[in-house]
Structure 1
């Protein structure tokens, strides 16, 4: 199974980037591929949200000091997709890395998904950098 990483450097501290990315209420402002509508919080780590894929449940890794933003997305079909995501320290601030795993997707679908994630990460960058 192939995978690809999408990354962006953000000119802010790792903790600032993490805090913005981990703020579930802010997801529609930058994560259009995940949250395109109303958010229903379930806990500090979980929510139900309208997305381009339909209404999905998203469960994030618990808050942590090491920048892990992994999240599981349960699709309307009942399938769950694990999304590894990290915020690392970088000489120019922080680097956000999102790993896409190909699974049954075609190469074209993987490339399209990577481009969508890249767009989301650039919106996160703009949001954090103001």
Structure 2
């Protein structure tokens, strides 16, 4: 199984990037590949309308390490683990999202990676605009 690390550098503090990106209520604003509407909470599980159908999302606990890994349970029942890190960078913060190919074709994997890259660019735009 191949993995690809997709990243974006954002001219904002790592804390500000993490606080926004790891907040489930902000997902619909920047993570179109995951959330196409408001997130509904059911305990510590999030119910999300996504391009794949209704999925559940479970984030790791809020932490000081910049980690906001999350497991997505697809409508099929398959669970996809998504490692995501916010790292300090000389120009602000770098968000690194690891995409794993799993059982996708190469074309599907490339499309999934392109979706993640577009989501990270949207996150960059939102946070850059709010700090200008």
Report the TM-score range of the alignment, normalised by the length of the smaller protein: over 0.9
Q: TM-score, normalised by structure 2?
A: 0.94
Q: Would you identify which runs of 4 or more consecutive aligned residues in structure 1 move more than 3 Å?
A: none
Instruction: State the shift of 1:82 in Å.
Output: 0.3
Distance 1:92 1:116 in 2: 24
Secondary structure class of the residue paired with 1:129: helix
Aligned residue pair count: 129
Q: TM-score, normalised by structure 1?
A: 0.96
Residue 57 of structure 2: aligned partner: 58
In structure 2, stretches of 5+ residues that fail to align are none
Distance 2:111 2:3 in 1: 13
Residue 119 of structure 2: aligned partner: 120
Listed one character per residue, the Cα deviations across residues 40-94 of structure 1 (whole Å, up to 9, x for unaligned) are 1124x53101000000000001000000010000011111100011000000000
Residue 23 of structure 1: aligned partner: 23
Secondary structure class of the residue paired with 2:96: strand
* Map 1:1-130 → 2, pairs under 5 A: 1-43=1-43, 45-130=44-129
Distance 1:123 1:71 in 2: 19
| Root-mean-square deviation over aligned CA pairs | 0.9
Contact kept? 2:25, 2:38, Cα under 8 Å:
no
Instruction: State the shift of 1:38 in Å.
Output: 3.3
Distance 1:15 1:46 in 2: 23
